[in-house]
Structure 1
């Protein structure tokens, strides 16, 4: 029985790169179901590739095979990996930190090094700059179609030795929730933090309360103001800012019909720190 194949990359859709990956996958098995996670990852942004996998994977059936190709080190000595999560999803990706969020928040059951010599599209020539087509999509399709097994892809690796990106752990300290800005809700400019709702509720804040929010880029403060904690954007007027629980149960900030990220030039990653403080305790 065929499993599904889901593709992610920083290739965009303005040329034929993604179409070529589809073509390879369907040449392996024309009945294979191939879908896109996204191909709009900013070029070389491994952090965002890591987070988008976390955002999506739990909504797909067990056994789904994901191929994530954000690979600034293509053609170098970096390893190619295939990981089996505790959730029994499979991910093929370079060893460059793409598995960071999945490793931390879902867990890796087993990791193998993808043998790039044995698992390569036949007659793909001497090109070593398009592993997404020649190795990853090809191997992902063969795996999803049952032509090869997870164990046949390559030698087992210690999951603790794969590349990890630095992550700031969210915490509650001195009656404030501290964390980082993991990602943007790109189209609407909302910012998503790594502060889970269960951690935030330790502050005793209720819907409708006014809270203080401060954001730093390293040691530079870029935002400090008060806002309402609401269920949705409907709890504040147009143009006003609101703190809310996003679709993956983490704390997020947005502007009703506006872009918070654009308005205050907010970025993402472990250097972007946020502090949420209730005002009623002051």
Structure 2
């Protein structure tokens, strides 16, 4: 009997320790992920992190990137879409690419259908998040409540004064989503671009981004459309690339698994890490050699070459 009582006591202690750990983990709040076009040459990003730590010293803060090209709202939208689904529900993303800072553009927080949060100006940054995750609700930030105390006379650093502060409070559970501000009863601002679609025996799409380190060209044509064209390994593809309707590139490219499947300097088509059709030169930059870049104004047409 004494042994049974001792075992029961140990089990109760372990359950108590486990429960305490779970509650402590829940109390820590959610991760805060920052993205800007600020770069790291000055103290802007550090100031944002300082504001966040001032809200909660235990807050877990991570960087998505601070190297978005200046004012490039489209790339900000893409990088969020590329990254967000790999983070757990509840994660709070703060994205500040804000050429309209200090104007009447709206500052919002979006809750997606996946349970993620995005704090950003409503300037097109949320275009691809709406498509990839779906939007459950949008609230406009009430700056009378959710603004760094003492910053009301500052008009050019909302990333620090409004977005980092509000995002940190939400991630730390100092406020609820409902305390952000009023519900926005209109569509978010969206950037127009060529969706990936079948057109006869071809696929049309967009070049949303470059694999910037290597100059590879990524499209939004996914594996389902690749399969719809019945494209197999070593098939040849006729590729045409346009910028604002003007053809920049035309060529025939083999579809292979990876870069080493073709000789150095030769072109290849492949499915990238997001399982989307991409183009590269083995050991060289497709973008630099062919003057092909990315953005909503870049389109691509792909056809399988008949044997």
TM-score by length of 2: 0.89
| Max Rg structure | 2
- Which one has the bigger strand percentage? 1
CA distance in 2, matches of 1:22, 1:144: 13
Separation of aligned partners in 2, 1:250 and 1:29: 39
Distance 1:122 1:224 in 2: 56
Q: Which aligned segments of 4 or more residues in structure 1 are displaced greater than 2 angstroms?
A: none
* 1:55 corresponds to which of 70, 79, 82: 82
Give the aligned partner of residue 28 of structure 1: 55
User: Contact 2:37–2:66 (CA<8 Å) still a contact in 1?
Assistant: yes
By how many angstroms is 1:227 displaced? 1.0
Question: Which residue among 136, 145, 158 is the counterpart of 1:131?
Answer: 158
2:191–2:296: 8 Å Cα contact kept in structure 1? no
- List gaps (5 residues or longer) in structure 1: none
Residue 237 of structure 1 corresponds to which residue in structure 2? 263
How far the C-alpha of 1:269 sits from its partner, in A, is 2.2
Q: Please provide the CA RMSD for this pair.
A: 1.1
Whether 1:46 and 2:73 are equivalent positions in the alignment is yes
Q: In the alignment, is residue 115 of structure 1 matched against residue 138 of structure 2?
A: no
Aligned to 2:112: 85
Q: Which runs of 5+ in 2 are unaligned?
A: 1-26
Contact 1:80 1:116 in 2 (8 A): no
Match of 1:144 in 2: 171
| Inter-partner Cα distance in structure 2 for 1:18 and 1:234 | 39
**Within 5 A, what are the aligned runs for 1:193-204?**
193-204=219-230
Give CA-to-partner distance per residue, 1:188-220, whole Å, 9 cap, x none.
Answer: 111111111111210111011111111011221
CA distance in 2, matches of 1:79, 1:211: 44
> SS at the partner of 2:250?
strand
Aligned to 1:96: 123
- Name 1:185's counterpart in structure 2: 211
Q: Report the 3-state secondary structure (helix = DSSP H, G, I; strand = E; otherwise coil) of the residue aligned with 1:84.
A: strand
Instruction: Report how far residue 271 of structure 1 moved.
Output: 2.0
Question: Aligned equivalents of 2:284 and 2:209: distance in 1?
Answer: 17
Higher helix share: 2
Moved more, 208-217 or 122-131: 122-131
- The C-alpha deviation readout for 1:119-162, integer Å capped at 9, x for no partner, is 1111225111000001100111111001000000000113x522
SS of the aligned residue for 2:301 comes to: strand
Q: TM-score, normalised by structure 1?
A: 0.97
Query: Is the Cα–Cα contact under 8 Å of residues 237 and 303 in structure 2 kept in the other structure?
Result: yes
Q: CA deviation at 1:232?
A: 0.8
